[in-house]
A and B are shown apart, each in its own frame.
Chain A
Amino acid sequence: MAGGRDDRDEPALVEAARGGDARAFEEILRRHESRVLRVLRLMGVRAQEREDVAQNVFLRLFRGLGGFRPGQPFGSWVYKVTVNAAHDWRAQAARLHRDEAPWDERGPERGRHGLSEDARLALAGRLEAALDLLTERERAAFVLVTLEEMDSEEAGRVLGISAVTVRRHAGLARERLRKALEEKKSPVG
């Protein structure tokens, strides 16, 4: 499956992949794998299982190509399949690992307002850990709108809810995350 990059635009690649062109699908994978893995991480999929879930995402995408309507935004569909796979994983993980504390491998929380790289990473880690406090819908809205910078209309299409509801969930998420970050900060400083 090795080979150079394919310069075809995405609709052409999708169409080729629909026709069974594995190289076209490989290029689709190359263009989207980073995003898929990032969203899975932000949706709480554990590092050691993220690749397996991502593989499942791409298999779902491949199997769903036959039903994909040309002209639709392929990227949105990738997000949708990825978020759904993350939801499925979380549901399964909740059953299998209900006794495990989430994100306990993050290390010490040293983050403050500091500008050092360590502090910045710690702050990012605190926010990522705080995502676990959100409902699935809040988390998905926050990840898509705030972290992936998707507009609420598109996020609504991905999540199957209205743009207004997306904004409401994203707003609630921000409030809860802000509170969590502030609460964690207080005892230290």
Chain B
Amino acid sequence: MDNRNHDILDEAIAALRTTGGDESLSSAVRSKLFSDIQSLQASPAGRVTGFAKGWRLALLGAIPVVVLTAIIVTGGHHAGQSEGSGQLTATKVDGQVVFTLANGKKTHIVYASTDPQRFDPAAGVKMTKNRYQVDATGGPNLVFYRID
């Protein structure tokens, strides 16, 4: 009995090993990947920066972008002022979303998530000179941002 079970598992393993074939990235994803890499290389801090840590996945196709401070970006320029947050602007130009925040604080951390109730603290990205910029040229995924 056990031998038969063992055969089932091994047969399933053998079958699974041979399914799927050799997968490869689509040309669109490949292009996006190398575009991101070029952006990283061109960044002032060099290619290995904390700028994109934990972000690229969440930011793929960030159209529209929702900022939790009640600013919704669907293109063009938006500005808002929420309690205690100072002046926040979000602009989307040529596939780039740019956030700027001026409230007197020098340090701001930006979080992104597809779930507005869940932001990974480890994935926070520090704004440089109160500015955060990211590509948003993919598909119609909804991404939420929180700026602390």
Contacts and interface: CB of A to CB of B under 8 A. Distances in A.
Interface of A: 1, 20, 22, 25-26, 29, 33-34, 37-38, 41-42, 51-56, 58-59, 62-67, 89, 92, 95-96, 111, 113, 120-121, 123-124, 126-128, 146-147, 174, 177-179, 181-182, 185
Contact of A63 (B19, B33, B34, B47): B47
B119 to A, nearest CB: 11
B52 interface: yes
A55 B23 contact: no
Contacts of B24: 33-34, 37
A62 B19 contact: no
The 4 A-B residue pairs with the shortest CB-CB distance in the complex, in nearest-first order = A127-B12, A124-B15, A37-B23, A66-B48
Interface of B: 5-9, 11-13, 15-20, 22-26, 29-34, 36-38, 40-41, 47-49, 52-53, 56-57, 60, 114-115, 118
Nearest to B13: A146
A185 B26 CA distance: 37
Contacts of B25: 29, 33, 37, 51, 54-55
Contact of B52 (A26, A51, A63, A96): A63
A55 B33 contact: yes
A123 B26 CA distance: 28
B118 A26 contact: no
Nearest to B28: A51
A55 B37 CA distance: 11
Contact of B48 (A65, A89, A123): A65
Contact of B12 (A51, A52, A96, A123): A123
Given A29-B25, A181-B5, A147 B13 contact: yes
B31 A56 contact: no
Contacts of B33: 29, 55, 58-59
A63 B115 contact: no
A174 B47 contact: no
Contacts of B57: 52-53, 55-56, 89
Contacts of A54: 25, 29
A120 B31 CA distance: 36
A95 B118 contact: yes
Contacts of A37: 23-25
Contact of A55 (B16, B19, B41, B60): B60
Given A34-B24, A127-B12, A127-B15, 7 more contacts: A20-B41, A29-B33, A55-B29, A67-B48, A89-B57, A92-B114, A113-B7
A178 B5 contact: yes
A121 B15 contact: yes
B22 A123 contact: no
A121 B15 CA distance: 7
Nearest to A25: B37
A7 to B, nearest CB: 19
Given A20-B41, A52-B57, A34 B16 contact: no
Given A52-B60, A58-B33, A181 B9 contact: yes
Given A1-B34, A33-B23, A55-B29, A120 B15 contact: yes
